[in-house]
């Protein structure tokens, strides 16, 4: 009997979707087909590949009426927020726009005696292991530029968003991309590790937990397979005394709570200058107290369940740890009777927090945020850097020079000023420390998905 993978809906705990897992032999057969198809795909003119990827993205957008309720069922995002097509289109379109320039030959010399240049060739077969929290946008970060660059792509999606890979492949295939060039696969962890260890892929891009990234690295050890790893985060916000208070509160609290806090670059800890602290906290509590927790299929719901009850259990454990160590919870549980002790989790704001508490150190990935008062920039920098993660940091000030100077001291992948929780496709999406390694999107994304080949041609 073949094994299956299930998506259990956070709405009611029922099995929403189930698919059979590929055996190792079946996976290798699919890989063989992909490698064969990749050669012809890479031989096509770049503009053809760009046009087909753009068409695939457009087809995906036409599926929104189907995709939006599916996302609600699979991972709990309220339907009122729509799907992810806007972000998918922005990222894919930008990578298509810069493809010709990013992949153009670097000409060192073209004279009567020599031609010397560096070309970029596709890696070959790229495995994309995508997460459930923004399942379309995170996948497109690699899928679109990998295909444009001439790679074949295999997409292994998270079990929580089981149908996403099928939808993406269906859209791109309908647009004209050959079926073997872009494949959706259902694999268990062991088969995935075995395939990586057997050098079946030329590049692996993984977005997920630190533990998952470590497992990918162990599987790839000694194979020299290229890896891109976007792992955990504990992104800070720092509100300085000259900040626009209203904008800072609105943006940072939204960054902490949107999608039930399940955002890769969501805000998980906030540091506020003493003069603004009380006003910031008061406004933050008012915003969060106005949320509506409930079934994500209902249009009035602003906060859906977490994607799985075990994720909610971790947030509750962190919150309880903080309370036991002296933190104060400011959101009244009476406002959120829908909190069922399972996947439906009320939002919470904590003050009197310290870095001795898990909620200020461990990745929460849920609707809870701790807010601390700081006396100056030096204290804020020390606290922001007191983390094993480094994805983004959000700085709030009217002084660009000050923000840039502080940003140079922060151990992070992206520095924001007066915004948060956003991925700019023109900039490299990267991190440091336990957040992982490598870079996606921008011209650097193409460098990861291709390899350089040098030509030194001496003329007779």
Q: Which residues are catalytic?
A: 230, 264
| Among candidate residues 247, 233, 230, the one with its CA nearest the CA of residue 395 | 247
Determine contact, residues 45/198, Cβ cutoff 8 Å: no
Question: Please, which residues have CB within 8 angstroms of residue 431's CB and are 6 or more apart in sequence?
Answer: 230, 231, 233, 389, 390, 391, 412, 413, 437
The span from the first CA to the last CA of the chain, in angstroms, equals 65
The strand pair at 235-239 and 392-396 is best described as parallel
**DSSP run (H or E) holding 7:** strand 4-8
In which residue are the tokens 């720092």 written?
238
Q: 166-172: long-range contacts (C-beta < 8 A, 24 or more apart)?
A: 167/60, 167/63, 167/66, 167/67, 167/70, 168/56, 168/60, 168/136, 168/139, 168/140, 168/143, 171/56, 171/57, 171/59, 171/60, 171/62, 171/63, 172/52, 172/53, 172/56, 172/59, 172/60, 172/147
Question: Please, which residues have CB within 8 angstroms of residue 20's CB and are 6 or more apart in sequence?
Answer: 2, 3, 4, 186
Question: Please, which residues have CB within 8 angstroms of residue 130's CB and are 6 or more apart in sequence?
Answer: 138, 139, 155, 156, 157, 158, 161, 164, 165, 207
Helix axes 274-289 and 245-257, enclosed angle (nearest 10): 50
Q: How far apart are CA 451 and CA 245, in angstroms?
A: 46
Q: How far apart are CA 250 and CA 252, in angstroms?
A: 6
Q: How far apart are CA 98 and CA 92, in angstroms?
A: 10
């Amino acid at each position: 009997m073949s094994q299956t993978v299930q998506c259990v809906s956070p709405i009611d705990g029922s099995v929403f979707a189930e698919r059979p897992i590929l055996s190792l032999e079946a996976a290798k057969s699919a890989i063989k087909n992909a490698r064969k198809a990749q050669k012809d795909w890479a031989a096509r003119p770049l503009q053809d590949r760009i046009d087909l990827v753009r068409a695939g993205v457009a087809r995906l957008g036409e599926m929104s009426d189907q995709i939006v309720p599916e996302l609600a069922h699979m991972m709990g995002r309220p339907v009122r927020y729509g799907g992810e097509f806007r972000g998918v289109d922005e990222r894919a379109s930008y990578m298509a726009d810069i493809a010709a320039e990013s992949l153009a030959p670097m000409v060192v010399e073209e004279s009567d005696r020599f031609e010397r240049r560096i070309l970029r060739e596709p890696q070959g077969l790229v495995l994309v292991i995508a997460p459930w929290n923004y399942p379309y946008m995170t996948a497109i970060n690699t899928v679109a530029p990998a295909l444009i660059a001439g790679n074949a792509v295999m997409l292994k999606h998270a079990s929580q968003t089981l149908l996403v890979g099928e939808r993406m492949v269906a859209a791109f295939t309908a647009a004209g991309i050959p079926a073997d060039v872009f494949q959706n696969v259902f694999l268990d962890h062991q088969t995935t590790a075995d395939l990586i260890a057997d050098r079946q892929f030329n590049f692996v891009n993984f977005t997920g937990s630190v533990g998952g990234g470590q497992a990918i690295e162990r599987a790839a050890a000694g194979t020299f397979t290229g890896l891109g790893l976007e792992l955990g985060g504990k992104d800070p916000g720092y509100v300085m005394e000259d900040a626009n208070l209203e904008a800072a509160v609105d943006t940072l609290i939204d960054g902490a709570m949107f999608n039930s806090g399940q955002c890769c670059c969501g805000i998980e800890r906030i540091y506020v200058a003493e003069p603004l602290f009380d006003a910031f906290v008061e406004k933050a509590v008012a915003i969060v107290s106005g949320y509506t927790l409930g079934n994500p299929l209902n249009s009035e719901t602003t906060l859906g369940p977490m994607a799985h009850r075990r994720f909610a259990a971790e947030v509750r454990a962190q919150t309880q740890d903080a309370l036991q160590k002296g933190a104060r919870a400011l959101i009244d549980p009476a406002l959120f009777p829908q909190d069922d002790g399972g996947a439906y989790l009320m939002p919470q704001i904590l003050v009197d927090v310290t870095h001795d508490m898990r909620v200020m150190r461990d990745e929460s990935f849920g609707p809870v945020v701790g807010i601390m008062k700081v006396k100056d920039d030096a204290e804020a920098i020390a606290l922001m850097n007191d983390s094993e993660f480094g994805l983004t940091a959000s700085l709030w000030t009217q002084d660009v020079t000050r923000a840039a100077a502080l940003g140079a001291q922060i151990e992070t992948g992206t520095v924001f000023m007066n915004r948060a929780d956003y991925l700019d496709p023109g900039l490299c999406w990267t991190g440091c420390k336990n957040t992982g390694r490598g870079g996606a999107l921008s011209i650097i994304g193409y460098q990861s998905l291709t390899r350089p080949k040098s030509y030194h041609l001496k003329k007779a």
